[in-house]
Amino acid sequence: MTVDNQLKIARDRFVAFSFAASDFLLEVNKEGKIIFSAGKSQSLTGKEAAELEGADWLSVFSKSDHSDLNALLKGAQRAGRVGPLMVHIDNGQTQEKHKAMIMGMTMPESPNIFLSLNATAAFFDFLEVGDVHDSRLLDEKQFEESAIKAFAAAKREGKNLDVTFLEADKIEEYKKSLSVDEANNFNENFNAVLKEQSYEGGTASQVDDNKYAIIHDAEITPDFIEKKIQQLVQRTSPSSKGMDIKTKTVEADMESLNEREARRALLYTINQIEKKGLDAAGDDLKQGFDDYLNENAAKITNLKKIVGLQAFKLNYQPIVFIPDETLCHYEALVRFDAETSPYELIIFGEDIGLAPDIDISILKQAIGFIKNEETKGNSVRIAVNISGQSIQSESFFKAVLEAIEKTQCSPKNLLFEITESTQIEDLDKVNGYLQKLRDKKFEVCLDDFGAGSASFQYLNALEIDCVKIDGKYIRDALNSSRDEAMVRNLVRMCKDLNVTTIAEMVETQEQLDYLIKIGVDKAQGWLFGKPSKKAAYKKRG
């Protein structure tokens, strides 16, 4: 077989693989011209594949998508892989618009960009998504999540990223000087400029009325970003003298910060900029995190004192077998003073690295409660939470084993729930710790299990006994077909894996009937009892 034949077979094979997941393929050169197309070109665009070759690739799509698509193309040229993005394909013959999901990537030895589009109605029915096209920049919460993913990806790839903050005090005044159409067009193009420079085209945000933030490759300078904006201003209104723009670039040093510290430093920096302007930002995120610690020094000292003295209380909420509602065990829930949210204080503890100290202190108090009940002739079984941050620490794990051995606490009285509040990086190491607990017959549960990719990654990598389904999905399952399908399929998957399931936040008989119907093993919620200082469960009826 000749080399040419081998290459043809290889190309045909990969085209076939692509069509297994897509309806329409495009190869676009760096000038934005289509050099190859295949698939449902006639039904989607009204043109045969041969007619599209040489055409501007944007001509295939609705004009409202052009700014986002340009950002996607430039993102692919820098990052190698981009998408998914929801767009609309225009059919020039029928005037129909076809919703499509587009993804793209580059190949090492080609300057071209390879795009795949899925426009099948069944595909969107499966995803249960509507018309989610949105050319706006990310809000603060979306930016936070995107930034952390970008930092993690760049760290894996050995790339350096920066965060540039822009302040354009008179941008709204400038927009008012334009016609409505010009202002709308300027706004879309302004957002597109920021997206084009952002990491993988998806890490640009408006953090305040006239303030913006972009995560970008370190080689992109703030002067270059400002130049692109000024060029846009000149194109929109040639007589304009330009726009006053201030910038501040903060280095994202991921070697000195972990994910949680970077998240906290980013949010703190944004908050300071919103309050005091760009001059409040430091030179790098490490400085931002140090400033955050300094500002909260008194709070840190107080939390250390609370943890050291065990100056908190534990409440106990029953978890029952269903359908018979007999008691299985209790979950230990920490309570501080009446004015302090336990969730916020625990998250703050994780921010400053105190999670292992908090968790070991709670474990010791829970074991003390178990032993005290034994002196009264009572046998109770308590689940204690361990954060994702704590379980990654070898010294913490040794402290857990030491507490168990010192008190001779039995697995009949104690089990553990691993929470997802912090991303677990080394899953193999953590799985090793968990198996040592399970070898001693202590059960391990994965808490707050949801639809996020991390949950399924954990379930795949960690050998555990049980998963606790996030109460959000239990609450919404009866009103959302998407959540109902997720819960039902999760339960089925866990049964196949021989992993038991607990549903939390069960508050109504209707919810309980649904859980029984789909085969959930255990339940927790106000229907069976609120958290209480005493581990006392009274069966309903």
Query: Does any domain span residue 135?
Result: no
Asked whether residue 455 falls in the same domain as residue 486, the answer is: yes
The DSSP symbol for 27 reads: E
200: left (phi over 0), alpha (psi -120 to 50) or beta: left
Asked whether residue 254 falls in the same domain as residue 329, the answer is: no
Closest C-alpha among 140, 143, 115, 132 to residue 37: 115
Query: Does any domain span residue 134?
Result: no
Q: Other C-beta atoms within 10 Å of 35: how many?
A: 14
Could you give the CA distance from residue 313 to residue 366 in angstroms, rounded to a whole number? 10
Asked whether residue 306 falls in the same domain as residue 416, the answer is: yes
- Record the pTM: 0.59
- The pLDDT value given to residue 283: 86
Asked whether residue 174 falls in the same domain as residue 111, the answer is: no
In the sheet that holds 204-208, the strands lie side by side as 204-208, 211-217, 161-167, 246-252
Give yes or no for a cis peptide into 111 (omega within 30° of 0). Answer: no
Give yes or no for a cis peptide into 531 (omega within 30° of 0). Answer: no
Do β-strands 24-28 and 34-39 pair in parallel, antiparallel, or remain unpaired? antiparallel
Could you give the CA distance from residue 426 to residue 467 in angstroms, rounded to a whole number? 20
Mean pLDDT in order along the chain per 10 residues (541 residues): 57 52 81 86 86 91 82 66 76 81 78 83 50 64 82 79 90 89 86 85 86 89 89 88 89 76 83 83 85 82 85 94 96 82 79 88 96 94 93 93 96 93 83 96 91 71 93 89 86 91 95 95 96 91 74
Q: What domain count does the chain have?
A: 3
Cα 145–211–189 angle (5° rounding)?
A: 85
Asked whether residue 175 falls in the same domain as residue 244, the answer is: yes
Asked whether residue 259 falls in the same domain as residue 344, the answer is: no
Q: How would you class 316 by CB atoms within 10 Å of its CB: exposed for 0-12, middle for 13-18, buried for 19 or more?
A: buried
Q: Other C-beta atoms within 10 Å of 227: how many?
A: 12
Any idea which residue has 């509602």 for tokens? 325
Question: Which residues constitute the domain of residue 451?
Answer: 298-524
Domain boundary among 127, 151, 169: 127
